[in-house]
Amino acid sequence: MNLEMNKPIPDPGFAPGDLTDGRAPGDWKTRYPDREARMSILFEGIYTAALLFVCPVMLLLIWLEKLSACLSLSGNHSETFCRYAYAWSGGLLGGTLYALKWLYHSVAHWQWNRDRRLWRLLAPHLSAALAFVFICMIDSDLFLIFEREAIEKPVAIVSVAFLIGYFSDTALAKMSEIAMSLFGTKGKYSTPSQ
């Protein structure tokens, strides 16, 4: 057992150069002795790993047009469905990788807590939705960062959607800035205290 358990551990950053996580050589036991915490971490790990497995399977099924066939879609309907299904799946993959990376970093750095569970469970799906909407905005010519022709190929859609999903927190912050510029008020406001 680590005798210096109460001593604060210096923050090594998200991807530290020192991979020891502040541990002495041979200190291999978990910092989470509570069974409930270990089971919660295991659940979150299995959940995100399952999502990580599902994403490539979904991409393969879309590419083979199995999903559109199951929905009895053909022609333009199938093409449109596949386009946006690629966007959703690419965003889900990016968001899942990001959530999985944060899960193992927070566990390793002894920063895991139950209060972030909702973020870890929902972030991949929010990333998928954001990627879907982002591709819609590109297709509608409302968002002129990319020309529609730049994302004609399925691999380009998946790539852009993946980046949006992986960096969804940053993408949402930037979209919020744009929205505030277009629709916001002049100054910041706060809700009155109760």
Distance CA 77, CA 70 (A): 13
Q: What is the pTM of this model?
A: 0.78
Q: Across the chain, what does the average pLDDT equal? A: 83
The single residue listed with the structure tokens 């919020």 is: 176
pLDDT at 1: 43
pLDDT at 3: 46
Residue boundaries of the structural domains of the chain:
35-176
Cα dist. 120→13, 139, 177 in Å? 19, 30, 24
pLDDT at 178: 78
> Which residue ranges in the chain fall short of pLDDT 70?
1-18, 143-144, 146, 185-194
